[in-house]
Amino acid sequence: MGKLPGIRQQGILQHGPQVAAHLRGLGIGSSKLGSLFCRCPELFSRPAEERAGVLFSQLMRLGLSAGQAARLFELHPGAAGSISFAPAIALLAPLQAAGSKDGGRPGEQLLGDLLKGHPSAHLAKLEAVVQHELGANRQLWVKVLGSTPRAAGCSEAMFRQRAQALVAEFGKEEACRMVDVAPALLVINIVVWLRALAVWQQCGVADPLVLASSNPTLLGYDWLHASRLANLRALQQWLPWEVSAAQVIGRYGCYVASYAADRVAGRLLYLEQLGLLPLLVADKLAAKREWQLQQGLSVSKKAAGEPVFISVGDLATLTAAKFDSLVDSALSQQQQQDDDSLGSSSSSPSFEAFRKGRMLQLPAWKQLLAQAEADVVELEGKLPPELVREVVGRRVRAELRA
């Protein structure tokens, strides 16, 4: 209480009992009241109908219990300085109305989470930055908060810096469009996407800015990472058609960046071991049509003996069960065509068994990982120091922990 201005201390003496009675009426017990008073005395320094009653009512309408609302003010006593949370609630109302979800959380909970640490005044300032720097409307700001709630934790200066960096690189209109596609661009460190552009250029991408504009989500990944470079190498090495590093990034960048090496590269190696790499195609629909035309069949009907085709997307996105089923079908068809095939659906282990066992011992896997680590070191030597300093520091900290 000594930290409060004198007028607020007087307010506690005058209004504290009334506020305490109001909170007891909401179901908050004496022990919780004592803790709340110690952590957030300002809440007790004004009439209940002007501050505590208003704020608790608004939070509880969002789905928080009285106890959860009290805990909020204990953790973030500065929230008691807000006259009302209504501006923030109005700002995020589209999320609530649409039943928006973030990681399985309903819109009401998302609103509560945002308000717990970030009063409405702070959110309003961040919205103003987005509108001014990107020329964006409120819908974009709502989208940013809905998909990346941690945006509410950014400082105003940091938010402005990140928005201005995007505008400087891509232009205001294009930066706004890219944020609409990939809202996380306003949250991640600028170095991350600058490093992505630099790595792509070193990998032979003719115009990294064009690639970034066509697929802004790719900018959100750390491309100076051994797992992603292993995926990149594996696709170059094992796809049955010739493809450059730049082409892999342009065509399959989302799979390279979004999935671990033991999934994309691991499944490629699995198919190589089973002799199924020839079944990989760039476009399953086009491959199917081409086969049907070669057989003189109608493209609108499924024909007996139609080959099993596997796409790069299948490698990355199929669940373990669906991928194993696809491989089993391919092996079964292969066995029917050639009794001397390498394996069969009954004798081949699942990919998960292969991934956890034999794959780890294969020289090809060990070599791939070693090459990827070497690629990281080589790229670090080619990039500007300010783009690699963070990565090197992270690696040193990991080694120290080990």
Segment 188-233, tens digit of pLDDT: 999 999 999 999 999 999 999 999 999 999 999 999 999 999 999 9
* Phi and psi torsions of 257, nearest 5°: -85, -35
pLDDT of residue 299: 61
- N- to C-terminal Cα distance for the chain? 46
Per-residue b/e over 361-395, b at no fewer than 16 CB within 10 Å? eeeebeebbebbeebbeebbeebeeebbeebeeee
The answer to whether 222 touches 387, Cβ cutoff 8 Å, is no
Element (H, E) at 281: strand 280-281
The residue count for the chain = 402
pLDDT in tens, 268-308: 999 999 999 999 999 888 888 888 888 877 666 666 678 89
- Closest to 256 in 3D by CA, of 302, 306, 217: 217
- Closest to 343 in 3D by CA, of 278, 262, 276, 266: 276
Q: Kindly state the tokens that stand for 174.
A: 């294009």
Give me the chain's average pLDDT, please: 84
**Which residues does 337 contact at the CB level (< 8 Å), separation at least 6?**
none
pLDDT in tens, 9-55: 788 889 999 999 999 999 999 888 999 999 899 899 999 999 999 99
Pairing of strands 310-311, 280-281: parallel
pLDDT of residue 106: 47
Q: Give the C-alpha separation, 377 to 79, whole Å.
A: 47
- Helix (H), strand (E) counts: the chain: 22, 2
Q: Give the C-alpha separation, 62 to 359, whole Å.
A: 50
Q: Give the C-alpha separation, 160 to 11, whole Å.
A: 38
pTM of full prediction above 0.95:
no
Q: Give the C-alpha separation, 179 to 64, whole Å.
A: 31
Q: Reduced to 3 states, what is the DSSP secondary structure of residue 280?
A: strand
Q: Give the C-alpha separation, 128 to 133, whole Å.
A: 8
Q: 338-342: long-range contacts (C-beta < 8 A, 24 or more apart)?
A: 341/275, 342/273, 342/274, 342/275
CB atoms near residue 402 (< 10 Å)? 5
Give Rg (Cα) of the chain: 28
